Amino acid sequence: MNTIYLREQLRQFLIEDIGYGDLSSELIDERDESVATVIAKEHGVFCGKPIVRELAIMQQLDLVACQEDGSRIAPGDVLIVLKGKTRVLLETERVLLNVIQRMSGIATMTRQCVDALGDDSIHVTDTRKTTPGLRMLEKYAVRVGGGYNHRLRLDDAVMIKDNHIVALGGVAEAVHAARSKVGHTTPIEVEVESFDQLVQAIQVNPDIVMLDNRTPDELREWVRHIPNHITIEVSGGITLDTIADYRGIRIDVISLGQLTHSVRALDCSMNLQGGMKYATTRNTPTDVR
């Protein structure tokens, strides 16, 4: 993860949320200090330790404890413990929770898909269907969940899709155009939607073919015609409920937009130890592991 970019993103997130000042937290004595604990409220996979660490540094908070990324968590588990000025803890709370809940939700969904597939020979990958501005964080969360990343940006690889094929006059024409423009280190992928297109793609020898919206039975037949040196990706309509149907097929990659575009955030909450919920003063010494 690019730490420089991460810090800039977190700075913008804080500016967006705090505005010209936290009117609610400014009611609290500026000298007051607290310990804040983030607790899981459901089962899942934790993700976001680099975010917690950088926010603590930026906000001058002490990071007492944090779960490791990839840890399986259950309701009631302590995810994060921070100590510092009460005002600062509260003004940081929403940004912290929003980001780690989103990332942990993605990591959890990814782990569920990997486990449901149950085939280590097939990589489960994300797509570019990410939240604008959050791609680096969301793709990091996919890796934490046991998945892999597809291209991060349009300049990572040539990916010839249906509209490119139409615009360039065919599969062969599109691949030849790509080879004339890009260097030898840039992979070329072709999306095919029919068996005829697959035959055309094989003839021009791309690095990757994506078989789009094919049933498992269709895939078992189609992959018999694809040389071993061409990477086989499948995509389109595959979900957590159906991914197990692709186990054992000779494919290399399954890409799922579901990992990022519609995932549900993992529920957790932050509480001040020593606040009213604990019926003691905030400055009461707390045994935090």
Cα(188)–Cα(72) distance, integer angstroms: 37
Which of 282, 254, 288 shows the shortest CA–CA distance to 32?
Answer: 282
Backbone angles phi, psi at 231, to 5 degrees: -70, 135
Confirm if 254 and 235 have CB atoms less than 8 A apart.
yes
Q: Which is the catalytic residue, given 212, 214, 233, 282?
A: 212
Residue with token string 């001040």: 272
Query: Which neighbouring-strand residues pair with 100?
Result: none
Q: Note if 143 is an active site residue.
A: no
Active site residue: 41, 94, 220, 250, which one? 94
Residues in the chain: 289
**Active-site annotation holder among 7, 41, 161, 179:** 161
Q: Is 85 a catalytic residue?
A: no
**Distance between CA atoms of residues 66 and 285, nearest Å:** 19
Among residues 191, 214, 233, 282, the one annotated as catalytic is 191
Q: 3-class DSSP state for residue 157? A: coil
- Is 39 in contact with 269 (CB distance < 8 Å)? yes
Active site residue 53: no
Closest to 181 measured CA to CA, from 202, 160, 196, 200? 160
Instruction: Note if 277 is an active site residue.
Output: no
| Residues 111, 244: Cα–Cα separation, whole Å | 13
Q: Which of 7, 53, 129, 179 is catalytic?
A: 129
Return the ∠ at Cα 260 (arms to 259 and 263), rounded to 5°.
80
Cα–Cα distance for residue pair 21/11, rounded to 1 Å: 14
Note if 139 is an active site residue: no
Integer Cα distance of 110 and 51 in angstroms: 19
Which among 88, 91, 70, 92 is positioned nearest to 79, based on CA atoms? 70
Q: Catalytic residue positions?
A: 94, 129, 161, 191, 212
